[in-house]
């Protein structure tokens, strides 16, 4: 049974998964907040790399993963302009243009066994490329899934709605030769992860 994380909580991924966890998927999902003029159940249509939102039933949210070394220096970044880390250990599956279904809207695959030894933490963020605020977002979550059996290991519900345009969601990091997850949930503002770096670095 997946653990439901609270803000600030830290867990051991291997312990929660019941054994070694090397292939994981970070899934991100969200709904468009239902206004009086909006259809029930409308899921997101998103645009990668630019453009504008498709109207009242879509919002352009983008997930990113930034890799940090022990000096809190960014080593690499995986986002809509670079869907794969230079070392090949992290792969963003790309945009879900239709947003159909109730599952993950974006997925970042991580091969923990291949993450370079100098990388000590992976920080995951989400931001609104078109500048729409999280007032238009509801039911947002991130979750860690064991890619070997598709079992959900941990889920963090991102409940903060408001005038921010981004969030530093969670960190997966090395500690005593094991991988852990830290639910961060700090609000921020910015169109891409570059804008979020001042908010990201304290958590790296």
Whole-structure pTM over 0.75, yes or no?
A: yes
For residues 27 and 145, is the Cβ–Cβ distance under 8 A?
yes
* Beta strand spans in the chain (E): 3-5, 10-12, 23-32, 61-69, 74-78, 90-92, 106-111, 119-128, 137-146, 151-158, 166-175, 178-188
Q: What is the pLDDT of residue 96?
A: 54
Q: Which two tokens stand for residue 108?
A: 């970042």
Q: Please, which pLDDT band fits residue 49 given cuts at 50, 70 and 90?
A: very low
Nearest to 106 by CA among 83, 138, 86: 83
Q: Is the pLDDT of residue 101 over 80?
A: no
CB 99 within 8 A of CB 166: no
Q: Which of 41-45, 114-118, 163-167, 175-179 has the least mean pLDDT?
A: 41-45
pLDDT at 171: 93
Task: Name residue 12's beta-bridge partners.
Answer: 180
Average pLDDT, the chain: 81
């Amino acid at each position: 049974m997946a653990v439901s994380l609270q803000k600030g909580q830290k867990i051991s991924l291997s312990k929660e998964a019941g054994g070694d966890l090397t292939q994981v998927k970070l899934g991100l999902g969200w709904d468009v907040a239902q206004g009086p003029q909006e259809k029930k159940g409308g899921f997101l249509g998103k645009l990668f790399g630019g453009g504008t939102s498709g109207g009242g039933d879509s919002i352009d949210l983008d997930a990113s993963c930034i890799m940090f070394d022990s000096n809190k220096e960014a080593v690499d970044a995986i986002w809509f302009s670079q869907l794969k880390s230079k070392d090949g250990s992290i792969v963003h599956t790309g945009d879900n243009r239709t947003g159909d279904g109730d599952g993950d809207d974006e997925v970042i695959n991580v091969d923990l066994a291949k993450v370079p030894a100098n990388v000590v933490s992976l920080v995951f963020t989400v931001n609104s490329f078109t500048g729409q605020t999280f007032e238009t977002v509801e039911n947002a979550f991130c979750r860690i899934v064991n890619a070997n059996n598709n079992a959900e290991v941990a889920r963090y519900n991102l409940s903060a709605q408001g005038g921010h345009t981004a969030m530093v969601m969670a960190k997966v990091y090395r500690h005593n030769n094991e991988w852990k997850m830290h639910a961060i949930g700090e609000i921020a503002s910015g169109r891409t992860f570059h804008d979020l770096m001042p908010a990201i670095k304290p958590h790296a």
